[in-house]
């Protein structure tokens, strides 16, 4: 029982805080419940298709193709592909994290994945169009160039810092053995 409490101490603490909030400031608790419900609905609509896409990518796209197009040996071509893949989507950034983890496990380089995530976060085409409308082309172009240069630099720094280690050492396990190990520890 204590092991279960230790494992879920953060959600338990949040539950106690929410209960106290409901007792002492019911209006704030009501607003937070609405925000929580809205966020849950958004996640419930977005994440199932993302996981379906990730499962299909896991099965249909061979590891050697990911290594060829996005791996360390892909060079500038891999960077351009990562950049383009990151600028096209319009969804929230949290959708990109499971994709990035899958691509890293399949052999994509850290530099290319930093470029992918950063492009998704800061260089999406719809976002740039709105930025041009409100801030003008000169500002948007300068920010675009500086952001892209920063992303490339961050990618090389991260590749240097993490590249000598295997992805398996710092990325959480995804295989069935990890799930089976948890089943053995849980009392059902």
pLDDT digits (tens, 9 = 90+) for 66-83: 889 999 888 999 999 999
Q: Are residues 13 and 29 located together in one domain of the fold? A: yes
Same-domain status, 39 and 71: no
Helix (H) or strand (E) holding 55: helix 26-60
Residue that is written with structure tokens 């169009």 in the block = 129
Residue indicated by tokens 């948890």: 182
Q: Residues 32, 74: one domain?
A: no
Q: How open is the CA angle 149-152-157, to the nearest 5 degrees?
A: 125
Q: What pLDDT, on a 0 to 100 scale, did the predictor assign at position 181?
A: 46
Instruction: Give CA 94 to chain center in angstroms.
Output: 5
| Average pLDDT rounded to a whole number, residues 106-122 | 93
Pair (45, 119) in one structural domain: no
Quick one: 90 and 49 in the same domain?
Answer: no
Examine the pLDDT at 124 and tell me if it is beyond 70: yes
Positive or negative torsion for Cα 137, 138, 142, 145: positive
- From 60, 78, 101, the end of a domain falls on 60
Could you list the residue range(s) of the whole structural domain that residue 168 is in?
A: 63-188
Has residue 34 got a pLDDT over 90?
A: yes
Whether the predicted model's global pTM rises above the 0.75 cut: no
Q: Domains in the chain: how many in total?
A: 2
Q: How far is CA 19 from CA 28, 30, 126, in A?
A: 11, 11, 41
For residue 164, what pLDDT is reported? 62
| Residue where a domain stops, chosen among 37, 60, 83 | 60
Q: Are residues 69 and 8 in the same domain?
A: no
Contact (Cβ atoms closer than 8 angstroms) between residue 21 and residue 32: yes
Q: How confident is the model at residue 35 (pLDDT cuts 50, 70, 90)?
A: very high
Considering the domain architecture, whether residues 70 and 29 belong to the same structural domain is answered as: no
Shared domain for 46 and 131, answered yes or no, is: no
83 & 154 share domain: yes
Whether residues 118 and 156 share a domain: the answer is yes
- Which of the listed residues 41, 60, 79 is the one where a domain comes to its end? 60
Residues 72 and 15 in one domain: no
In this prediction, residue 188 carries a pLDDT of: 34
Alpha-carbon distances of 92 from 37, 86, 95, 107, 121, rounded to whole Å = 17, 12, 6, 24, 8
Give the dihedral sign, CA 133/135/136/141.
negative
State the average pLDDT for the chain: 86
Residue 135 has pLDDT above 70, yes or no: yes
Give the Cα separation of 140 and 173 in Å (integer): 39
Q: Are residues 109 and 120 in the same domain?
A: yes
Helical residues (DSSP H) of 63-164, grouped into ranges = 63-70, 75-87, 96-105, 110-122, 125-135, 137-162
State both tokens at 82: 């990562």
The pLDDT confidence band at residue 89, using thresholds 50, 70 and 90, is confident
Which tens digit of pLDDT belongs to each residue from 170-188?
677 665 444 444 444 443 3
Q: Using only C-alpha atoms, what is the Rg of the chain?
A: 21
């Amino acid at each position: 029982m204590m092991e279960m409490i230790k494992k879920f101490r953060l959600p338990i603490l949040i539950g106690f805080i929410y209960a106290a909030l409901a007792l002492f400031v019911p209006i704030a608790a009501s607003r937070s419940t609405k925000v929580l419900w809205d966020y849950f609905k958004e996640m419930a609509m977005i994440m199932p298709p993302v996981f379906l896409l990730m499962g299909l990518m896991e099965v249909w796209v061979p590891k050697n193709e990911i290594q060829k197009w996005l791996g360390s040996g892909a060079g500038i071509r891999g960077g351009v592909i990562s950049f383009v893949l990151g600028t096209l989507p319009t969804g929230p950034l949290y959708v990109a994290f499971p994709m990035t983890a899958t691509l890293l496990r399949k052999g994509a380089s850290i530099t290319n994945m930093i470029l992918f995530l950063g492009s998704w976060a800061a260089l999406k085409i719809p976002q740039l169009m709105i930025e041009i409308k409100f801030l003008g082309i000169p500002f948007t172009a300068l920010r675009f160039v500086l952001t892209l240069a920063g992303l490339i630099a961050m990618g090389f720094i991260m590749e240097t810092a993490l590249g000598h280690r295997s992805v398996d050492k710092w990325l959480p396990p995804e295989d069935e053995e990890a799930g089976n190990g948890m089943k053995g520890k849980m009392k059902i």
